[in-house]
Amino acid sequence: MTHPQHATLLVELLTEELPPKALARLGDAFAEGIAQRLAARDLIEGELSFERYATPRRLAVTIKNVRSVAPEKQVREKVLPVSVALDKDGQPTAPLAKKLAALGFPDFSVNDLERASDGKADAFFLRYAAPGATLAEGLQAALDETLNVSKLPIPKVMTYQRPDGTNIQFVRPAHRLTVLHGEQVVPVTALGIDSDDTTLGHRFLSDGLVAIQHADTYAETLHHKGRVIAGFADRKEDIRTQLLAQAEGDQVVMPEALLDEVTSLVEWPVVYTCRFEDEFLQVPQECLILTMQTNQKYFALTDANGKLRSRFLIVSNIETATPGDIIEGNERVVRPRLADAKFFFEQDKKKPLADRVPLLANVVYHNKLGSALQRVERVEALAGAIATLMGTDVALAKRAALLAKADLITDMVGEFPELQGTMGTYYARHDGEPEEVALACTEHYQPRFSGDALPATATGTVVALADKLETLVGIWGIGLQPTGEKDPFALRRHALGVLRILVEKQLPVDLVELLRTAYAQFAAVPNVADSTQAIYDFCMDRLRGLLRERGYSAGEIDAVLALNPTRLNDVVARLDAVREFSALTEAASLAAANKRISNILKKSDGAPVGGVQVNLLIEAAEKALHAQLEQVAPRVQSQLAAHDYTGALTALAALREPVDTFFNDVMVNAEDPALRANRLALLGALHQQMNCVADISRLAA
């Protein structure tokens, strides 16, 4: 049978069980590495198109339109400088003959070479057609490069020995290599294994070797003969579909990370329903759900209102008509886990949160910032100050701040750190604390990540601000601000949390005042620098990104933030006003004029003190501008007072014509010092009105 010019290529590496949390990334890196390296060697006909596969025991890829031989390449290669290739009589030298022989062209003469400059001097160049690499050659090189342990996302490299005594390094021991180009085996080697056209299916549901007849039938053959769903994404969606079907109308708690991990553990997923005793439902359901997910990889079920059921779903790698033993075994395994959670919960309730607070003195927060208790005391004082600024209940804020970290000392949080805050809320309720105090134990961590909900209560909002500001100011103050990609204390996340709370909740509090108040709590802590300005600048950079994500342009954001706002409650309203102003026909002219005014005032060290003197307005254009400004300014200030920023900027439109006329007819830098100062004062008054909402000069092209 003749070898096809181009056909689908299959490469599969069969291994021992791969690390589940790395499987998806390993599968992607394996497939992309081989496909892209073949494309780089011109072994792909047309566009690169490939399918990736990853199961617990295999990494594979099928690549469309792979050539058996790469096309010839036209090569232009420098041979020697003319001064070396020819002697003084213009005759070929021995070095030239030697170099041509080394290149594989011993019969070429000088007349067969191209003479051209190499940028420094004349040289001889050789042009020839180089044969393309064969698929076996190109694939061998691609495999060697791709399977280099430094090129793959391997959590921990394993060294193992082949039967012939060779030491191999890879993520797990490899057993088979299946490589087909169409129907033909491509003779290559990987990790000491020669390629063939067979593989193994499911460990228990298939029997013996599975022959792959054609690269195009790989996934189908494995599915029907090997009882393996080879595609990671296909297997994941199959699991999702089965979970929803087995839920019988209930809601399945299936975070994507858990779905990914379970997908990495099975080759032929089958979902079964299990149960646990109803008595465990007395434990906070977050504890039960977390222990099922973390320890057993099970999927919890809730009713339509989110209340946990005593049923749960498991994903097995075995399909059987009599799954009783599988179900019973999993129910038996989960029971001690749930019993532990129940025990922790009952034990924790015996000691009130308030009694745990002093124990935080034994927990080091940071060696330069003291214990967790000292941190709690700073957050408590700061929460009280913020509550005063916001006009909310100071006593509730301070009580919530005092108790918010106490659940760190509980057994449940010790076992499941992910439940910090959540357990604080349960225990605070059990202790009879006010509901806002209890909720603040959870809410003060919000927002935990991009898109997370903000605190819903006033007390939770205050404590969330206090907690994040104390971290920002303290950690930054001891010189541990983020550098490059490094941000071990998540200061970027804390800053974004503060910004989202201030902006989205439209809180009328001053960010700089908050930072200064936070810094004041460190008065008794040595070597904490006042970094208020640096943190403010850092926050503004984060705010720019946050606003860009919401669809505002760089120019609109720059115009508003150029005023260095410290109250952020109206930033969005100002941005919306700038956007509407930009659509006016007068906007471009006024922005350009404002930019010109800014430059003039900058060169003149600002507008003179004392305001405009009407008797020194002698030109008709400056009189007209002053008169129009006198009419517009009260309207602008009235709109500002009503927080109607769009109205304030729109009112400026009336200034376009008199401003344009002023710059056409009036010499600002008049020789008479009094006239010059008066005109600068007029421009200063105009500049102040024009920049009342945003620096509109930033909108100028």
| Alpha-helix runs per DSSP H in 478-586 | 491-504, 511-520, 532-549, 554-561, 571-582
Instruction: Tell me the longest C-alpha to C-alpha distance in the chain.
Output: 107
How many other CB atoms are found less than 10 A from the CB of residue 361?
A: 13
Interval 95-121: pLDDT, tens = 988 988 888 888 888 888 889 988 888
Burial 408-430 (b: 16+ CB within 10 A, else e): bbbbbbeebeebbbbbbbbbbee
**Percent of the chain scoring above 70 in pLDDT:** 99
Q: Does 355 reside within a domain?
A: no
Residue 531 confidence (pLDDT) above 90: yes
**pTM higher than 0.85 for the full model?**
no
Say yes or no: 465 and 492 in one domain. yes
Tokens of 126: 């050789």
> 111 is in which domain, residue-wise?
73-130
Answer yes or no: do 427 and 515 share one domain. yes
Q: Which two tokens stand for residue 492?
A: 């970027």
In terms of domains, do 509 and 542 share one?
Answer: yes
Same domain, 383 and 465: yes
Q: Is 115 helix (H, G, I), strand (E, B) or coil?
A: strand
Q: What is the pLDDT averaged over residues 391-407?
A: 97
Q: How many domains does the chain have?
A: 5
Query: pLDDT confidence of 2, banded at 50, 70, 90?
Result: very low
Same domain, residue pair 527 and 578: no
Same domain? For 342 and 274 the reply is: yes
pLDDT of 484 above 90: no
Question: Mean per-residue pLDDT for 661-689?
Answer: 90
**pLDDT of residue 131 exceeding 90:** no
Residues 376 and 521 grouped into a single domain: yes
Mean pLDDT of 34-58: 95
Last residue of a domain, one of 204, 225, 246: 225
Q: Are residues 538 and 400 in the same domain?
A: yes
CB distance 510 to 564 below 8 Å: no
In angstroms, the CA 229 to CA 249 distance is 27
- Does residue 98 share a domain with residue 29? no
Flag whether 620 is in a domain: yes
Inter-residue contact 313 to 351 (CB < 8 Å): no
| pLDDT for 15 | 97
Answer whether residue 300 is part of any domain: yes
User: Average pLDDT for residues 595-621, to the nearest whole number?
Assistant: 86
- Residue 106 included in any domain: yes
Segment 4-28, tens digit of pLDDT: 678 999 999 999 999 999 999 999 9
Q: Say yes or no: 621 and 589 in one domain.
A: yes
- What is the Cα–Cα distance from 181 to 45, expressed in whole angstroms? 14
Decide if 563 is inside a domain: no
pLDDT confidence of residue 4: 60
Is position 29 within any domain? yes
Q: What is the mean pLDDT of residues 681-696?
A: 91
Q: pLDDT tens across 623-653, in order?
A: 999 999 999 999 999 999 999 999 999 998 8
- The answer to whether residues 434 and 503 belong to one domain is yes
Beta strands in 221-363 (DSSP E): 251-252, 270-275, 299-302, 308-316
- Taking only Cα atoms into account, the Rg of the chain, rounded to an integer number of angstroms, comes to 36
Asked whether residue 622 is assigned to any structural domain, the reply reads yes
Angle, CA of 210, 212 and 215, to the nearest 5°: 150
The CATH code of the domain that includes 609 is 1.10.730.10
Q: What percent of the chain has pLDDT over 90?
A: 80
What's the pLDDT score for residue 72?
A: 84
- Give the C-alpha separation, 266 to 435, whole Å: 44
Cβ pair 28, 78 in contact under 8 A: no
Residues 382, 286: one domain?
no
Could you read off the pLDDT of 175-226 as tens digits, one per residue? 999 999 999 999 999 999 999 999 999 999 998 999 999 999 999 999 999 9
CATH number of the domain residue 507 falls in = 1.10.3210
Kindly report which listed range (31-40, 459-468, 570-579, 608-617) carries the lowest average pLDDT score.
608-617
**Domain assignment present for 34:** yes
377-392: b (≥16 Cβ within 10 Å) or e: bbbbbbbbbbbebbeb
> Given this model, what pLDDT does residue 511 score?
97
